[in-house]
Amino acid sequence: MAETVSRRIVLHFPNEILDKPIVFILVKEFELVFNILKAFVVPDEEGLMVMELSGTSENLQKGLDYLKSRNVRIEPLKQSIVRLDDRCYQCGLCTGVCPSGALSLKRPSMEVEFDSDKCVLCGACVEICPARAMKIAF
Ligand code: SF4
Ligand code: SF4
């Protein structure tokens, strides 16, 4: 009997395929089981979905290949994102790339707030932060 394997991944769905039954096909065609951990739509841009996908390694690979063929970008799930507050100098760059609003400017103080409950673990802030204040915690 084939062993079941699981992968935790972040999927970026381009805007033009948001209404397509992509996840349904993963189940129907590749017999994969999914558990959606978080989902978020950036209006007019993309949909983000954090999920655990399980199946035989062969089917899992076929499913991932199918997603790529539909222009879905796949990233491995970062376990959690933390902010090192003593490094952050409030430049605000991260608020421009955060798709879920987890990083936002608080008005009128203009301080950058981090709400980890809204974070979809995409890692964009880690890449852009000049102070290396946003970190992946495993
Ligand atoms: S990009 Fe980095 S330094 Fe700038 S506000 Fe965001 S966390 Fe702070
Ligand atoms: S990883 Fe960073 S940019 Fe991505 S959702 Fe979380 S806080 Fe926002």
pLDDT digits 0-9 by tens, 78-126 = 678 889 999 999 999 999 999 889 999 999 999 999 998 888 888 889 9
Half-sphere exposure of 102 (CA within 13 A, CB side): 23
Report d(CA 34, CA 30) in Å as an integer.
11
Structurally, the chain folds into a number of domains equal to: 2
Spatial neighbors of 6 by CB under 8 A, at least 6 apart, are 52, 53, 54
Report d(CA 31, CA 137) in Å as an integer.
32
Structure tokens given for 109: 């103080």
Domain of residue 113: give its range: 80-137
Protein residue whose Cα sits closest to atom 4 of ligand 2: 122
Q: Between these two residues, 129 and 42, which has the higher pLDDT value? A: 129
Q: Which of the listed residues 86, 105, 134 should we mutate to test ligand 1's pocket, taking the one with most ligand atoms within 8 A of CB?
A: 134
Q: What is the pTM of this model?
A: 0.62
Give Dmax over CA atoms of the chain in angstroms. Answer: 61
Distance 2 CA to ligand 2 centre (A): 36
- CA dihedral (33, 25, 52, 7) positive or negative: positive
Q: Are residues 10 and 71 in the same domain?
A: yes
Q: Are residues 17 and 68 in the same domain?
A: yes
Q: Which atom of ligand 1 is nearest to the CA of 125?
A: 1
